[in-house]
Copies of this chain bind each other. A is one copy, B any other.
């Protein structure tokens, strides 16, 4: 019989679908902020701490300069960040928030709440999901 792997049984597809559904839920909220989902992630990192080099942003998010360089250029065009060559190490580019970028933080408070509301999971389930995903991601990355 069907010895072919089946879509619905694949955890990878469950991850892929859940991830897409989550960004779809965020989309309307992020639209109001004028951000895409990956841009929001970059802003999250910068709201925690700045300046951050492109390298550091990439390490936090698992993205390389091929993705970040144009993304940061767009955030700069939006007036949310500035990029400056580091003085100590001229290979590095430090990314800092502008006032507008910092102010966006308060408006972004509503973003994670939206997912929690839509998730339909208990706090326990959310926490367990979070923990399991963390274990999974760590194991997968180690296996590479």
Contact = CB atoms under 8 A, between A and B. Distances in A.
Given A5-B109, A109-B3, A137-B18, A121 B132 contact: yes
Interface of A: 2-7, 9-26, 37, 41, 44-45, 47-48, 60-62, 105-106, 108-109, 111-112, 115, 117-121, 125-126, 128-130, 132-144
B18 A22 contact: no
Given A112-B10, A136-B119, A143 B44 contact: no
Enumerate the 7 nearest inter-chain pairs by beta-carbon distance, A residue then B residue, closest first: A120-B139, A118-B143, A4-B47, A21-B140, A19-B19, A14-B133, A15-B19
Interface of A, secondary structure class, is helix
A139 B48 CA distance: 30
18 contacts: A3-B109, A7-B44, A7-B48, A7-B60, A7-B61, A10-B44, A11-B115, A11-B130, A12-B115, A13-B41, A14-B133, A15-B18, A16-B37, A20-B62, A21-B141, A118-B140, A120-B138, A120-B139
